[in-house]
């Protein structure tokens, strides 16, 4: 086999867009794009952040157009525990995704990973949101998730507006002034 075919089995182009690692920054709030289901299955794990065991379905979407093409975003469908209203909303989005994939369950039990395999590769439009979680040490963790799913080509592809910057400014994150506020009060001077 040729050295040049050792990647995906096709000749490299040498073009910049094919040469660099993807951007892993936060996708802006409200971004809408076509996406393909890459994975869909049941997750059972211990959440160390919350200190609890969790059970939920997770859908991994790979964006197929827009400014963030080829990025992946997940949707957690929490239909096993929570408030009845939350469970109902999660069951509704679960059924909506299955309908968009033209999937009809063959039994009344919770779908298995094997049942959900038929959804892999199905396309739809999704709307993305940003989130932030405060850690025990006071720092924040930022990420994205899927807020809405729609039939393919029923909403337009567009890039949203970042909210993390504004949220960071409003969230009380540590700065030179807050970090050194005691010194500033004692010295009545700027702390840098």
Q: What would the mean pLDDT of 19-32 be, rounded to a whole number? A: 83
Residues 111, 168: one domain? no
183 three-class SS: helix
CA-based R_g, the chain, Å: 22
pLDDT mean across residues, the chain: 84
Residues 109, 191: one domain? no
Residues 89, 180: one domain? no
Among 6-15, 80-89, 96-105, 142-151, which stretch is predicted with the lowest mean pLDDT? 6-15
Residue span of the structural domain in which 48 resides? 22-161
Q: What percent of the chain has pLDDT over 90?
A: 59
Residues 137, 182: one domain? no
Supply the DSSP symbol for 152: T
CATH of the domain at 45: 2.40.50
Residues 96, 26: one domain? yes
Q: How many domains does the chain have?
A: 2
Q: Is the alpha carbon torsion for 111, 114, 118, 121 positive or negative?
A: positive
pTM of the model: 0.74
Supply the DSSP symbol for 155: S
Residue 184 has pLDDT above 50, yes or no: no
Confidence of residue 174 (pLDDT cuts 50, 70, 90): very low
Residues 140, 189: one domain? no
pLDDT in tens, 87-123: 999 999 999 999 999 998 889 999 999 999 999 999 9
Residue 20 has pLDDT above 70, yes or no: yes
Residues 62, 133: one domain? yes
Residues 95, 184: one domain? no
Confidence of residue 170 (pLDDT cuts 50, 70, 90): very low
Supply the DSSP symbol for 27: P
Residues 59, 94: one domain? yes
* Any domain includes 5: no
Confidence of residue 21 (pLDDT cuts 50, 70, 90): low
pLDDT in tens, 34-70: 999 999 999 999 888 778 899 999 999 999 999 999 9
Confidence of residue 164 (pLDDT cuts 50, 70, 90): low
* Any domain includes 4: no
């Amino acid at each position: 086999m040729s050295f040049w075919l050792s990647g995906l089995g096709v000749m490299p182009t040498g073009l910049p867009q094919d040469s660099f690692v993807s951007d892993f920054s936060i996708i802006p709030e409200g971004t809408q794009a076509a996406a393909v289901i890459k994975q869909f299955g049941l997750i059972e794990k211990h959440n160390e952040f919350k200190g609890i065991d969790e059970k939920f379905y997770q859908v991994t979407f790979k964006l197929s157009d827009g400014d963030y093409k080829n990025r992946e975003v997940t949707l957690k469908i929490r239909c096993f525990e929570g408030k009845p209203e939350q469970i109902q909303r999660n069951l509704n989005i679960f059924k909506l995704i299955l309908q968009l994939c033209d999937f009809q369950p063959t039994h009344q039990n919770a779908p298995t990973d094997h049942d959900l395999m038929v959804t892999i590769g199905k396309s739809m439009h999704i709307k993305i949101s940003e989130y932030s979680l405060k850690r025990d040490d006071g720092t924040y963790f930022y990420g994205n998730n899927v807020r809405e799913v729609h039939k393919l080509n029923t909403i337009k592809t567009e890039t949203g507006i970042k909210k993390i910057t504004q949220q960071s400014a409003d969230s009380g994150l540590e700065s030179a002034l807050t970090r050194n506020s005691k010194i500033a009060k004692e010295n009545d001077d700027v702390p840098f």
